[in-house]
Structure 1
């Protein structure tokens, strides 16, 4: 994956990326807010040697001696000999070992300096502990360096027999003096607000990048029509752009015949007419892998586009489980295809008229056995009769994967269109649907890539959900009045009234 491809992924999944980055920054801010401030106080000691004169050689020797020992001195700053005394002196509510963990000592190379740093949650206490540690540490070092078993002549005292020398305590060869007392720190050394925010931002960016790449890897839906052609092996006859107003206005030419959707269906009509020049299909089944991919919308608008071009067209609603065509056009649902299949009426009795002279055969009452009805000989006879009357018959059917209705019906038609929703249908689902059609010997004319993103639309909408959802609204086509119904389907209404 190159940088351009990665940026496309981020642009496509920017809500996820932004959310992760915001969470990273929030985590950095939270870490700063909940952390207890820690202050550091620093003191410095100078290690000097005691010598008996100002001879240059002695001075150099003492300097070398101090530098050689100072590293060892720094290592014993946090020992129990120092910390126990400091805890008792300052009456600290901590153990000597705990105090040792808060003491750091370092001796810069080629120097005789020792820097002692003490951390604490209280700035004043940090300074007190630092000074106390420095004082006690100096005494401990001098005690350790004092010669054992040696006595030096001290000042004489007057006795009965004259002056008697007094033994003096041996002196250490080094002396530790404080060069810089600890001052009360003005600001805590941790937490670092900016550092935590920067770390949170960096973690958010890295996490966002990793997550979008992972989601893209796990996402097997199709984003481009070329991928659809490669997967199915069939040409993509149409690419229908997503329109957020489609649920309210399912017919693309209801308001403006020059909209992007209307033009897309005209292109689909043109491409379909050129697919089989020698053997043009008359009965065309429109289906999809799953519900909600826009098959009913595609069938209805394709039928309208054909009618607009002067082709005598009939639209048949063969989705007998969730029929939506009648609601889309504002027609009568009670009498339709099922009424004809069971022999209760003829085609002319229930045929209704849609916009522009389009003939519409609605689904009729929902039957208990739609699969058997659609695969019956009677259904084949109905399609043949419609093919004799019309130049094009568009059949809207049920999705392929949830039910077996279309598998039984599709072989009765001259060809099939498979509708695939962009960024929704997975590769496995599309392949399963195409294989199902191929298994029963169905002639698949091509595919339709529906609800593709456009420059004006940043997301994906939903239309024509299948299951418990209601069918799409009629949009500008209001439900007809009783008088209009009589004009559209007088025979069907009379038939229904006779039944009652």
Structure 2
């Protein structure tokens, strides 16, 4: 016969293992908070915007074609801006300690659909260095792309600005703690049910009847000690 779990059984399981259900999520949240605040290195972010455009023309049809061409070229620009030909110059100009490959991992290029503007984002453990890398990379790309593609249609729309009291983009301690609490709660509930499943002791008369199929003829009540009577 299939066993069913009633709400009463669930509540009894929670009551019996409440310490595990409460303490394990709290411990997970505390550990996550300590790691997020004191172990992980903060990472800061700086962004610039680059505009791809063409020189003015009186032909409206030609302008529409040029705009679409510029939009299509952004994918190519995204590859060029992260290429060694550009990144090596940035490393040399700023005297960066990281390699070209490491710098490539710090740079992200994001384009907006059907737009001639794309964003260049740099993440670094130093907010000032992140700002300098973003601006230097934008200017270097603007200078070098005419030589690489024989075109002159790139301009820096906005520069990265170092803000006072810049907040890191990661880690996010609040989010990490929340995730740890949820995971800890799920694990603690699962552990509570596992312990209950592995516990094969009889707790009352109904357990004997259910598991052994035998009727209960009598029971012995637990007597309290009466010190006045000498027991």
Superposed pair shares fold, TM > 0.5? yes
Is 1:191 the counterpart of 2:196 in the alignment? no
1:434-449 to structure 2, matched below 5 A, reads: none
How many positions carry a matched residue from both structures? 223
What TM-score do you get using the length of structure 2 for normalisation?
0.88
Residue 65 (structure 1) aligns with: 69
Selected match of 1:175 from 153, 158, 163: 153
In the alignment, the residues of structure 2 paired with residue 145 and residue 115 of structure 1 have an alpha-carbon distance, to the nearest angstrom, of 20
2:45·2:130 contact (CA, 8 Å) conserved in 1? yes
Residue 6 (structure 1) aligns with: 10
1:109-258 to structure 2, matched below 5 A, reads: 109-146=113-150, 172=151, 174-185=152-163, 186-231=166-211, 233-235=214-216, 237-238=218-219, 240=221, 252-255=225-228
Q: What's the CA shift for 1:28?
A: 1.8
Q: For residues 201-228 of structure 1, what are the alpha-carbon distances to aligned partners after superposition, in whole Å with 9 as ceiling and x for unaligned?
A: 1011111111111111111122332112
Corresponding residue SS for 2:195: helix
Corresponding residue SS for 1:49: coil
1:21-420 to structure 2, matched below 5 A, reads: 21-33=25-37, 34-50=39-55, 53-146=57-150, 172=151, 174-185=152-163, 186-231=166-211, 233-235=214-216, 237-238=218-219, 240=221, 252-255=225-228
Q: For residues 313-336 of structure 1, what are the alpha-carbon distances to aligned partners after superposition, in whole Å with 9 as ceiling and x for unaligned?
A: xxxxxxxxxxxxxxxxxxxxxxxx
Q: What's the CA shift for 1:3?
A: 6.6
Aligned CA distance change for structure 1 residues 230 and 107 (closer, same or farther; 3 Å): closer
Corresponding residue SS for 2:221: strand
Q: What's the CA shift for 1:100?
A: 0.4
Corresponding residue SS for 1:215: helix
In the alignment, the residues of structure 1 paired with residue 220 and residue 94 of structure 2 have an alpha-carbon distance, to the nearest angstrom, of 81
In the alignment, the residues of structure 2 paired with residue 57 and residue 228 of structure 1 have an alpha-carbon distance, to the nearest angstrom, of 88
Q: Select between 230-239 and 34-43 the one with higher mean Cα deviation.
A: 230-239
2:49·2:118 contact (CA, 8 Å) conserved in 1? yes
Q: Which has the higher contact order (CA 8 A, sep 6+)?
A: 2
Q: What's the CA shift for 1:137?
A: 1.6
Give me the CA root mean square deviation.
Answer: 2.1
- Identify the structure with the greater strand proportion: 1
Residue 380 (structure 1) aligns with: none
Aligned CA distance change for structure 1 residues 239 and 78 (closer, same or farther; 3 Å): farther
In the alignment, the residues of structure 1 paired with residue 149 and residue 58 of structure 2 have an alpha-carbon distance, to the nearest angstrom, of 22
Q: What's the CA shift for 1:239?
A: 5.3
In the alignment, the residues of structure 2 paired with residue 239 and residue 183 of structure 1 have an alpha-carbon distance, to the nearest angstrom, of 80
In the alignment, the residues of structure 1 paired with residue 199 and residue 59 of structure 2 have an alpha-carbon distance, to the nearest angstrom, of 83
In the alignment, the residues of structure 1 paired with residue 104 and residue 187 of structure 2 have an alpha-carbon distance, to the nearest angstrom, of 38
What TM-score do you get using the length of structure 1 for normalisation?
0.42
Aligned CA distance change for structure 1 residues 240 and 70 (closer, same or farther; 3 Å): same
Aligned CA distance change for structure 1 residues 175 and 239 (closer, same or farther; 3 Å): farther
2:205·2:216 contact (CA, 8 Å) conserved in 1? no
Q: What's the CA shift for 1:57?
A: 2.1
Q: What's the CA shift for 1:75?
A: 2.5
- Identify the structure with the greater helix proportion: 2
Q: For residues 329-364 of structure 1, what are the alpha-carbon distances to aligned partners after superposition, in whole Å with 9 as ceiling and x for unaligned?
A: xxxxxxxxxxxxxxxxxxxxxxxxxx7xxxxxxxxx
1:46·1:179 contact (CA, 8 Å) conserved in 2? yes
In the alignment, the residues of structure 1 paired with residue 191 and residue 221 of structure 2 have an alpha-carbon distance, to the nearest angstrom, of 30
Q: For residues 247-305 of structure 1, what are the alpha-carbon distances to aligned partners after superposition, in whole Å with 9 as ceiling and x for unaligned?
A: xxx863444xxxxxxxxxxxxxxxxxxxxxxxxxxxxxxxxxxxxxxxxxxxxxxxxxx
Corresponding residue SS for 1:237: coil
Corresponding residue SS for 1:73: helix
Q: What's the CA shift for 1:26?
A: 1.6
